[in-house]
Amino acid sequence: MTTLTQPDLQTGTPVPEFLPIAFFDGKFCPFPEAQLSIATHALHYGTSVLGGIRGIPSPHDSKQIMLFRLADHCRRLSQSAKYLNTDIDPIELEAALIEFVRRNQPQTSFYIRPLIYTSSLGIAPRLHDVGKDLLIYGLEMGDYLHQGGVRCRISSWLRQEDRSQPLRGKSSAGYIASALAKTEAVASGFDEAILMNSQGKVSEASAMNLFLVRNGQLITPSVDQDILEGITRASIITLAQDLEIPVIERPVDKSELFIADEVFLCGTAAQISPVLEIETYSLPEHRPLTQQLCELLKKIMVGSEQKYSKWLTSIHHGS
């Protein structure tokens, strides 16, 4: 497999190594040929929804590639598409993503980005009488965040409310708050941001869900706290319950973060990343539940835990 990389002309920093084949305009094509017009509707109005899927070549079989919770990701993306006033069959999404992987045959850990977007050209912020399309591309991806842990600040930006935009879908428009919060955090010397909601409760990180541990209980903001209903979040809740770790989903106060026994962030890209500090508060170095869940999730993703094999989609290729 050949990957594509070049320096960013504006920043000089290296761009990701993209997988060589993309899906665009209804067909597979070389990644450089997947080009959008500058007049594309979604580019101007944020009228697109996206997914993110982790994949890894099997350490047990060189001809096998595994995707984590593919059906769940496709179901959520299909549901997100409804907010664009369009329907797409999750089974068709699965088929397209499996064929995408077969054609690319990634040899290292990777990430797939499917995106459903308003593809018509023109100016008018609407969802009716405008075409929709699907594109898929991928890139090599190791650790999204430093696995040794991250330092967080409380963002001055608030998480949007579900009454202003549909937060149960992964809408590209919703990530403006994430981008503002992330850059604010990095510019002020931190690695990541934690956003509060309009009620003053903890919502999530810039693009990740949040968990904390207090007195042996695993606590996470509930779905009514303007969070994304994360698939990794749901996986961790299931794992914790299977391990007989008490799980509580409820509103979380900012002050709880500072006195927590453990805090970690999770998401498809980040997987599980422990939080070392929040603002000026240092968290305990001993993080037994975070470590236990992190190790189990990593084993599941490489196919070493038969109990959770249903979460993996195995794709065989002939090379």
Comparing 307 with 141, which gets the higher pLDDT?
Answer: 307
**Termini Cα distance of the chain:** 10
Q: Does position 194 have pLDDT exceeding 60, yes or no?
A: yes
Q: What is the CATH number assigned to the segment(s) 150-301? A: 3.20.10.10
Q: Which class would CATH give 21-140?
A: alpha beta
Structure tokens at 47: 């009228």
Query: Strands (DSSP E) along 159-246, which ranges?
Result: 192-196, 202-205, 209-214, 217-220
pLDDT at 20 (0 to 100): 97
Residue 319 has pLDDT above 60, yes or no: no
Residue pair 193/181 in contact (Cβ under 8 Å)? The answer is yes
| pTM of the complete model | 0.92
What is the per-residue pLDDT for 300? 94
Nearest to 52 by CA among 18, 95, 97: 97
Q: According to CATH, where is 3.20.10.10 located in the chain?
A: 150-301
Binned at pLDDT 50, 70 and 90, residue 218 comes out as very high
Task: Give dist(CA 221, CA 230) in Å, integer.
Answer: 12
Least confident of 30-34, 102-106, 139-143: 139-143
Average the pLDDT over each of 15-19, 182-186, 206-210 and give the range with the smallest value.
Answer: 15-19
Residue bearing the bigger pLDDT, 145 or 178? 178
How much of the chain exceeds pLDDT 70, in percent?
Answer: 93
- pLDDT of 2 strictly over 50: no
Task: Work out the average pLDDT over 247-272.
Answer: 95
User: Rounded to 5 degrees, what are φ and ψ at 230?
Assistant: -70, 145
Long-range pairs, 171-179, Cβ under 8 A, ≥24:
171/46, 171/48, 171/49, 171/80, 171/83, 172/42, 172/46, 172/47, 172/48, 172/49, 172/50, 172/115, 172/117, 173/45, 173/46, 173/47, 175/207, 176/46, 178/206, 178/207, 179/206
* pLDDT over threshold 70, residue 289: yes
Per-residue pLDDT at 310 exceeds 90: yes
